Copies of this chain bind each other. A is one copy, B any other.
Amino acid sequence: MPAALAADAAPANLPSWNDGDVKSAIVDFVTRVTTEGGPDYVAVPDRIAVFDNDGTLWTEQPAYFQALFINDRVRALAPEHPDWKEKEPFASLLKGDVAGVAASGEKGLVELAMATHAGVTTEEFNKIVSDWFATARHPRFDRPYNEITFLPMRELLDYLRANGFKTVSGGGIEFMRPMTEQMYGIPPEQVIGSSITTKYELEGDTPVLMREPTIDFIDDGPGKPVGINKFIGRRPIFAAGNSDGDYEMLRWVTSAPRARFGLIVHHTDGEREWAYDRQSHVGKLDKALTEAPERGWQLVDMKADWNRVYAFEK
C-alpha cells in the first residue's frame, strides 16, 4: 500500500486459527476496510458483521440446542400436563421416541415450541432460559452449552469488534438474548432472528409482555436478509454462516459494491466436533458449498483451519 495510507487496524489476535488462506483473507479484508484513504475503506458505522449462530458460533449437533431445551422443558412441564402422556407429539417426546416426534411433522414441532415458549411473560421466559443454561449439559461433552461455542469464531468476533465492527447474531431471539453477551460479547439488541409474538397485558396493575403461541418471524433462508434489514437497517459488509439456510444472507451481503466478506464454516472434523454437509438433516450445506468458489466465499475447513475448536480443549 502507498506510504500515505496508514492502516489503523487493531492486530489480529486469532491464535486458534492456523495460518492459511482463510486467516489471511480475514486479516486482509479487515486491513483493507480499516485503511483510511484506501480504496476499500469503510466508515465505522457501516462496519456491520452478521453471524449465523447454530453451527457457526456454536455446535448444532446432535440437535439444535433450542430443540434440546424444548425436550427438557416438556419433561419439566409434564407433571402439570397429564394429558401429554396420550397426546402427540408430547407422548413420543416423553418416551424418547425421536421418530415418533418427527412423524408429527412441522405442525407437531410448532406445537412443542409453543407449549414451551409461550404462556409466560418475557421476564419469566428470560429466567427459564437463564436457569436452563446454568444447569443443562451437552449430551456428548457433558459441559454447559455456553462452553460448546467455537473458540476461533469468538476470537474472530473480538478481532472484528477491536476494529470498529458491530457484531450481530441470530437465532431464536429470546432463547439467545439472555446468553449472547456473556458468550460472545453480543448485547441483546444485536440479536435478531426468529420470534413469537408478545402482547401487552396488565397483571393486576402491572404491565407485562405475555408470550403468545403465534410465530412472529422465522429467521431462515430468504428470511435472513429480511430480518437483518428490519432490525439493523443497513446492509452488513461481513456475513458468516454454515448451511444453505445462510445462502440468501451470504448472497445479499456479498453482492453489494465494494469490499464484502462471506465466510462459511464447513464441519469437517468428526473427531473434535462433527463432520457433515450435503446430506445432513441438520445444517445441510450443499448449494452454498457448491457456489462458494464462484461467489468468493471463504470456506473454513474446521479440521485444517482451526487448531482448537472449543476453549476447554487442552
A198 touches B231 (CB 8 A): no
B234 touches A188 (CB 8 A): yes
Q: Which single member of B199, B222, B234, B255 contacts A226 (CB below 8 Å)? A: B199
Q: Which single member of B191, B198, B230, B248 contacts A229 (CB below 8 Å)? A: B198
In Å, the complex CA distance between A233 and B230 comes to 15
Residues of B within 8 A of A188 (CB): 232-234
Q: Is A209 an interface residue (CB 8 A)?
A: yes
Residues of B within 8 A of A216 (CB): 230
- Tell me, rounded to whole Å, the shortest Cβ–Cβ distance linking A122 to chain B: 6
In Å, the complex CA distance between A252 and B199 comes to 12
B200 touches A226 (CB 8 A): yes
B231 touches A231 (CB 8 A): yes
Q: Which single member of B177, B207, B231, B252 contacts A255 (CB below 8 Å)? A: B207
- Tell me, rounded to whole Å, the shortest Cβ–Cβ distance linking A294 to chain B: 11
Q: Which single member of B189, B198, B223 contacts A232 (CB below 8 Å)? A: B189
Q: Is A173 an interface residue (CB 8 A)?
A: yes
Q: Which single member of B207, B225, B226 contacts A252 (CB below 8 Å)? A: B207
Residues of B within 8 A of A255 (CB): 206-207
A233 touches B177 (CB 8 A): yes
Given contacts A45-B181, A225-B207, A248-B207, contact A233 B199 (CB under 8 A): no
Residues of B within 8 A of A251 (CB): 207
Q: Is A195 an interface residue (CB 8 A)?
A: yes
Q: Which 8 A-B pairs have the closest CB atoms?
A: A188-B233, A200-B222, A207-B252, A177-B233, A207-B251, A189-B232, A200-B248, A198-B226
- Tell me, rounded to whole Å, the shortest Cβ–Cβ distance linking A3 to chain B: 34
Besides A191-B233, A198-B226, 18 more A-B contacts (Cβ < 8 Å) are: A173-B230, A173-B233, A174-B233, A177-B233, A188-B233, A188-B234, A189-B232, A198-B230, A199-B222, A200-B222, A200-B223, A200-B248, A200-B252, A207-B225, A207-B251, A207-B252, A209-B252, A216-B230
Q: Is A108 an interface residue (CB 8 A)?
A: no
Determine the residue in chain B with the shortest Cβ distance to A230: B195
Most chain B CB inside 10 Å of its own CB: which residue of A191, A207, A234, A252: A207
Q: Is A38 an interface residue (CB 8 A)?
A: no
Within 8 A of B (CB), among A193-217: 195, 197-200, 206-207, 209, 216
Q: Is A164 an interface residue (CB 8 A)?
A: no
In Å, the complex CA distance between A200 and B249 comes to 9
- Tell me, rounded to whole Å, the shortest Cβ–Cβ distance linking A109 to chain B: 22
Q: Is A187 an interface residue (CB 8 A)?
A: yes
B231 touches A122 (CB 8 A): no
Residues of B within 8 A of A122 (CB): 229
Residues of B within 8 A of A222 (CB): 199-200
Within 8 A of B (CB), among A263-284: none
